[in-house]
Structure formats: C-alpha cells, structure tokens
C-alpha cells in the first residue's frame, strides 16, 4: 500500500512497519482522533484463502475481547476493496527478540519485570478461555517505557471453538513449541506456560535451548531432550530462578504451573534471600510401564512371601498319621515329624535368594554404563574438551561455526546436545564459534533503494538514506554507499548509508520576457536550466531583450530541461532583407576516459563514489553571428553519450559565422567560416 493512501477515508498510511506471513503492517494516522495507529492489512496473495481470512478475523475477535495494559489493543476492523484490515494500538519501540539482542545480558530484576507483565497478559487471555499458541519474543513488543505488550493472536484458539483445533496440525513457532504440540496434540493453557518458560530461558541466556538443522529436529528435542541448565551458562543465576524455568518447561503438562498467575507468584520471590538454599526442581517420575531393575533389598523383602505362596499351593502328601489321630510320644517324637518340612522351606528360600543375587550381579556386570552430555556452551575449547572427557565421553570432530551470541574460540554446542543420555565413551562432536557471520557487501550503486534496503535489513544491517537531486540518475536509484563493495562486515554491527537519487528537481519558471540575454542566462545557471535562442523583429521590444519564452511563465520543468527564448532584433528595416538564416548540425562525441580517470583518483582517495555517477561531460558551445559573440556562452549542456546539436545562424548576406565547442575545458570542434552554402 502506497504512502499517503487514506484507508476508509480515515487512516492515512505513513510508512511500512513490517511484513509477516499473513499480513503487512503499516504506520498510519487516524485523521478523526488525531493519533498514530498501526494498520495490519491482509496480504494480497491471501485475499481469496478462506482459512487465512478466518485466522485474520479470529485475531480481531480474540484481541477485542481482551482488555489488559499488556495486550495490544484493537481499535477497528474493516474491509475496503476486498482488503481485510485491523486498526491497532501503535507501540513505538521494538519486539522482545530485538530487545534481548540489543541489551543482553539483562539484569535479573528487569527480566522478572518483563516476564511479570507478559504473564499478566496471558492470565487475562486464559481467563477468557483464549490460548495464544504462538507466544514468542517476536510477538511481544517493548515500548520506550519498557512496557511489554503481547500481539498477534492470529492462531489463538478459543477453547469453546473445537472446530478450530486440528490435532494433526502443528501451529506455532518451533523454538517455543510445547512437547504436546510437537507431537501433534491439542494445545492447552499449559502449552502457553511452556512457551513462557522458553521465553524466560532466552531472557536469561540470550539464546533458545534447542537448535537444529530443520524444524522437525527442533520439535523432536522439545519432547525428547531435557532443557539445558541456565546455571550452566550463567552460574550467577539463583537456583530458585532456574526452578521457575524448569517447572514451566516440564515435559508433562501436569508438572507445570497450574496457571500463569502461579508462575508469576513464584517468579516474584525467586530472588528472595529466603530461597537461597532451594534445591533443584525435579518433576515427578512416571515410568509409563518402562522396564526397570529392582534393587536386591526389594527382591529380598519379596522372597518370604513368594516362599509362603509356594508352600500354600504345593500339594501335601497324605499319610496315615495325617488321616488318623496319633497320640504324641513326647518332645522327641514331635521334633522328628516337623524338622524335615521346615528344612525344606529354608532350602527353597536360600535357593531363590542365590538365584536373584546371581541375576543382579550379572546384570550389573554386563549392563552398559551411561552418562549425560554436559553443557559446554560459552566455554573455551580446552575446557569444553575437558568437561566431555570428565563425563567419560570421547571428543570427536571439532567443527567451526559462526555464532552471533558466542565469543570467538568458545564452544557453541555439542552433537548430541547437552543433557542427552549416552553410553560411556561415546563419540561427541564439538562446535567452536568463529564469531558472528560476516557478509560481503556488493556494489549497490545503480540498484533500486527499496529492495536493496529491505534485503540488507532482513540480514540485520541498519540502513540509512540520504536523498539528493540528480539529472543523470533515475529517482529511487542508489548513487553512493558509505561502505565499500567487497568489504566483509558483521550485519548487526554495521550501519550503511545510501545516497539515493530523487531525480531531477522541479523548477517553476519565472517570467523572462523583456529580460536581457545576460539576465536570462544568469537565471538559467542558478536553476540548472539550458537555454536555446530564436530571434525575431519586434516593434514593441527593444533589441537584445526577450520577446517570449517556451515553456511560459509558471510552467513546471525539471532541472536540465531546455527553455527556448525568442530574442528581439529590434524594428524591422529594409536592410534586414539582406540577411541569411541557416542552421548547422554539429556532432559532439562523448569522452568516457575522463570519467574513468576521475574514478581512479577517487579510488586512490578511498572514496566510495561510483564512476557511473560521474560518467558525464560538461559541454559549452560558443556561437558568432549577427546576434551572438564568441565571448559569451550560447549553450551549456551535460552529455552522457554522443550527442548532436543544431546551431542556428543569422548573418548578413555575403558574411560568415563561427562556432566553438568546448568539452570539459578542451576545445574539440570549431569553425571560423560558417556560411549558408
């Protein structure tokens, strides 16, 4: 949408703010309420997509239901010429992703302040049974007063709208996706809690917990791998504060906070000295039917019961003494009848114990010993290798990789990632930072500014524009750049300034009639105009003054345009019939060697100006006839290629005229005897 367009007769577009997958966002001014607003306009290529339109309308519906100082307010919803649009509160500032990048490391108190505001907004949404489903720093705005505001409810779901939930479709940003969403399950309020935990992790560490080559690999890590410890990255973080991250990002929803308010309450006290000795949070274990080895003590406690059960089910031999009562024959006789059976039970129990002990010892000897991959992010290569070795792991290949968040020569990550359970002596590869990725700048001179600036800003550059008028470079094209082409720079640390042509400046012509030639030429020089002269007799205008001009007074022309003046020869007399009038065509060749040498000199001076912007010749033409003298310039012009001009002569019969062409200070053509024939 172009700048200056007024939407619905009320919202005047000022400039573009950004582009998204579903809509473009513009800064606009509300002409009725005299305030700045942001307008979200559904992209043209998605106008006919019913599902996108539903999502767009759902965002409007969801946001208008929510009133909270930390939620971007929606003012208006409408449609014009098939364009769906939302009018929202304009937040002057940046998103949380860029804020973290610019201000990291962030003080813990400020982290808690930002998160408390976000949690307040999420709690309000959840109280209205609305799940955001795409909570991420890019959807959280931070204004100039450090007030956080959540936006983009484009995939938010009202719990009552079951038709909007697709359990086989994953929506949301994969770096902040809960394990249940990553599995393709339904998002719940606790899915938002998980995303908030990842945001808190990023505020504390400056990075997300899981990275990968593909979105699928990152999603798998969310429900397979443990969240890396924030205290491994920054040991100064209190355990109570890390516990908030761990509880919010627990794999099982039931282990997470009950709601956003509970998380906010826990977060507010996480820096309290009373919680200084807090132990690390560990979620409740659930074996889910997993096969486990029980300790010997547990098995031993079960043995008598097993033996007793065995005796109860074992058939007993019936003897005559069992069927017929026999009179006891004293103690000696009773001992002989009971002792063999008791000894049988003891032997059976001993055999069972020996078998169990043998099994356990065998399993202990042959079971593979496991270890966990330690976190080495931010450590030197030597320390990282030492940590892996201390964890009974083998250091594999050492790879080099660019990183904007990890210093040069320090560890970025391992593969497998930290927290992964492995057999001892498994090979683990290590990635070492080479620093931020550098980008080699091209020569952008002559390119369109709009597309070039958008591409560079997407890479992380800060782009500035300086506008100048130019008669040789089309409007909107880059004339110069302050950073030389071919230089390798870090985008996030580089500001680029482009000098951009606005085209020729416009001139509103003054009234030149009755002016002398000298006065007319002075006006033309001051306004960068070229003059051409015609001559005519006049009984009303004195000789040597302008009779008329073309274009006329008040006409709007471009700098460099030609204005034709008709000069007076004075009153017509009989002698005027003996005058010859004719024209001569002169070809002026363009000289590009001058521009090349100029460019070479500029290169020696480390200048970034383009030779293309100076590839022109300044030409001055002198003419001698009845109305002109070789001492004054007849015509001045700038050429960029071979050019032909027509020179008009008025001479007395039998007389000759003359001309001289000067290009960049050198005479390149002249003729001192120009006649009609």
Q: CA–CA separation, 439 vs 159, rounded Å? A: 46
* DSSP three-state, residue 656: coil
How many C-beta neighbours within 10 Å does residue 639 have? 17
In this predicted model, what pLDDT tens digit does every residue of 172-212 receive, in sequence order? 478 898 998 888 788 889 999 999 999 999 999 999 999 88
**Which residue out of 34, 95, 134, 580 is catalytically annotated?**
134
Nearest to 270 by CA among 235, 226, 237: 237
For 135: left if phi > 0, alpha if psi spans -120 to 50, otherwise beta; the answer is beta
Q: Tell me the pLDDT of the chain averaged across its residues.
A: 80
Q: CA–CA separation, 14 vs 16, rounded Å? A: 7
- 324-341 mean pLDDT: 48
Query: Sorting pLDDT into bands at 50, 70 and 90, what band is 366?
Result: low
In this predicted model, what pLDDT tens digit does every residue of 383-430 receive, in sequence order? 999 999 998 999 999 999 888 788 889 999 898 888 888 888 899 999
Q: Does pLDDT of 16 surpass 90?
A: no
Per-residue pLDDT at 614 = 45
- 219, 494, 590, 661 from 481: Cα distances, Å: 42, 13, 27, 35
In this predicted model, what pLDDT tens digit does every residue of 539-587 receive, in sequence order? 889 988 999 999 998 888 887 788 999 989 888 765 555 778 888 999 9
Q: CA–CA separation, 74 vs 89, rounded Å? A: 6
Residue of 653 and 14 predicted with greater confidence? 14
Half-sphere exposure of residue 134: CA atoms within 13 angstroms, side-chain side: 15
- Do the Cβ atoms of 659 and 674 come closer than 8 Å? yes
Per the listing, tokens 């290629």 go with 641
- Do the Cβ atoms of 528 and 558 come closer than 8 Å? no
Query: Sorting pLDDT into bands at 50, 70 and 90, what band is 613?
Result: very low
Nearest to 311 by CA among 339, 353, 357, 349: 349
In this predicted model, what pLDDT tens digit does every residue of 66-94 receive, in sequence order? 788 899 888 888 888 777 888 889 998 89
Q: Which domains does the chain have, with CATH numbers?
A: 6-89 (3.30.200.20), 93-275 (1.10.510.10), 370-433 (3.30.10.20), 439-501 (3.30.10.20), 504-516+531-569 (3.30.10.20), 573-677 (2.60.40.2560)
Query: Sorting pLDDT into bands at 50, 70 and 90, what band is 43?
Result: confident
Per-residue pLDDT at 247 = 96
> How is residue 505 annotated by DSSP?
P
Query: Sorting pLDDT into bands at 50, 70 and 90, what band is 351?
Result: confident
Helix boundaries (H) for 499-631: 517-526, 593-604
Per-residue pLDDT at 533 = 82
Q: Which residues pair with 475 in a beta bridge?
A: none
Per-residue pLDDT at 155 = 41
In this predicted model, what pLDDT tens digit does every residue of 426-450 receive, in sequence order? 999 999 998 888 889 999 988 988 8
Query: Sorting pLDDT into bands at 50, 70 and 90, what band is 475?
Result: confident
Residue of 458 and 12 predicted with greater confidence? 12
Q: CA–CA separation, 98 vs 141, rounded Å? A: 10
45 catalytic? Reply is: no
- Do the Cβ atoms of 66 and 128 come closer than 8 Å? yes
Strands (E) across 562-601 are located at: 562-568, 579-588
What are the phi and psi torsion angles at 25 (to 5°)? -115, 135
Q: Report strand pairing: 83-89 vs 35-42.
A: antiparallel
Q: Does pLDDT of 365 surpass 70?
A: no
Per-residue pLDDT at 443 = 92
Per the listing, tokens 């003729």 go with 671
What are the phi and psi torsion angles at 143 (to 5°)? -85, -175
- 287: its two tokens: 């074996």
Sheet of 35-42: strands edge to edge? 6-7, 11-19, 23-30, 35-42, 83-89, 74-80
DSSP annotation string for 390-438: HTT-EEEEEEEE--SSS-TTBEEEEESPTT-EEETT-EEEEEEE--SPP
Residue of 611 and 382 predicted with greater confidence? 382
Q: CA–CA separation, 612 vs 454, rounded Å? A: 23
- Do the Cβ atoms of 81 and 63 come closer than 8 Å? no
Nearest to 138 by CA among 10, 21, 297: 21
């Amino acid at each position: 949408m172009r700048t200056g367009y007024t939407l619905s007769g009320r919202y005047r577009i000022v400039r573009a703010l950004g582009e998204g997958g579903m809509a473009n966002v513009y800064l606009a001014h509300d002409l009725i309420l005299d305030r700045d607003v942001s307008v979200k306009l559904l992209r043209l290529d998605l106008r006919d997509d019913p599902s996108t339109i539903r999502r767009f309308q759902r965002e409007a519906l969801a946001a208008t239901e929510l009133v909270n100082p930390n939620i971007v307010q929606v003012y208006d919803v409408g449609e014009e010429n098939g364009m769906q649009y939302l009018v929202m509160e304009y937040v002057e500032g940046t998103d949380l992703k860029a804020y973290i990048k610019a201000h990291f490391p962030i003080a813990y108190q400020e982290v808690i302040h930002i998160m408390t505001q976000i949690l307040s907004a999420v709690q309000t949404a959840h109280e209205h049974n609305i799940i955001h489903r795409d909570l991420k720093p890019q959807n959280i705005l931070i204004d100039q007063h450090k007030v956080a505001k959540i936006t983009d409810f484009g995939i938010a779901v009202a719990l009552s709208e079951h038709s909007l939930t697709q359990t086989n479709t994953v929506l949301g940003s994969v770096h902040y996706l809960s394990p249940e969403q990553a599995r393709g399950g339904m998002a719940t309020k606790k899915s938002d809690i998980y995303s908030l935990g990842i945001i808190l992790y990023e505020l504390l560490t400056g990075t997300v917990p899981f990275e990968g080559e593909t979105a699928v690999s990152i999603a798998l890590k969310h429900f397979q791998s443990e969240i890396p410890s924030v205290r491994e990255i920054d040991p100064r973080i209190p355990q109570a504060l890390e516990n908030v991250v761990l509880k919010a990002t627990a794999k099982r929803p039931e282990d997470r906070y009950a709601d956003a308010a509970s998380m906010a309450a826990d977060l507010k006290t996480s820096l309290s000295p009373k919680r200084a000795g807090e132990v690390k949070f560990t979620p409740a274990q659930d074996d889910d039917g997993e096969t486990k080895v029980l300790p010997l003590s547990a098995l031993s406690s079960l043995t008598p019961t097993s033996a007793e059960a065995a005796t109860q089910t074992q058939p007993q031999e019936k003897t005559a003494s069992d069927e017929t009562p026999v009179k006891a024959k004293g103690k000696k006789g009773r001992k002989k009848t009971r002792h063999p059976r008791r000894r049988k039970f003891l032997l059976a129990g001993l055999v069972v114990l020996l078998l169990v002990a043998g099994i356990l010892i065998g399993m202990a000897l042959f079971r593979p010993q496991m270890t966990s991959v330690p976190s080495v992010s931010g450590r030197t290569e030597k320390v990282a290798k030492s940590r892996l070795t201390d964890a009974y792991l083998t250091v594999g290949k050492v790879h080099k990789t660019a990183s904007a968040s990890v210093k040069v020569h320090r560890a970025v990550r391992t593969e497998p990632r930290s927290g992964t359970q492995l057999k001892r002596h498994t090979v683990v590869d290590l990635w070492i930072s080479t620093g931020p990725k550098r980008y080699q700048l091209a020569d952008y001179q002559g390119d369109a500014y709009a597309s070039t600036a958008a591409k560079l800003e997407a890479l992380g550059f800060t782009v500035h524009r300086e506008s100048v008028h130019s008669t040789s470079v089309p409007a909107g094209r880059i004339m110069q750049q302050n950073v030389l082409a071919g230089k390798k720079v870090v985008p996030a640390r580089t500001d680029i300034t482009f000098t951009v042509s606005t085209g020729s400046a416009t001139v509103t012509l003054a009234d030149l009639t009755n002016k002398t030639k000298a006065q007319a030429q002075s006006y033309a020089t001051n306004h960068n105009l070229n003059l051409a002269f015609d001559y005519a007799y006049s009984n009303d205008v004195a000789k040597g003054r302008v009779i008329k001009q073309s274009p006329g007074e008040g006409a709007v022309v471009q700098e460099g345009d030609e204005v034709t003046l008709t000069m007076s020869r004075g009153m017509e007399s009989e002698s005027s019939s003996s005058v010859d009038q004719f024209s001569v065509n002169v070809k002026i060749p363009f000289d590009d060697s001058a521009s090349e040498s100029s460019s070479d000199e500029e290169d020696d001076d480390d200048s970034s100006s383009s030779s293309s912007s100076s590839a022109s010749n300044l030409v001055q033409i002198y003419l001698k006839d009845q109305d002109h003298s070789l001492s004054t310039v007849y015509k001045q012009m700038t050429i960029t290629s071979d050019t032909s001009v027509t020179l008009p002569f008025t001479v007395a019969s039998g007389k000759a005229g003359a001309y001289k062409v000067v290009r960049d200070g050198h005479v390149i053509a002249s003729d001192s005897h120009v006649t009609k024939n």
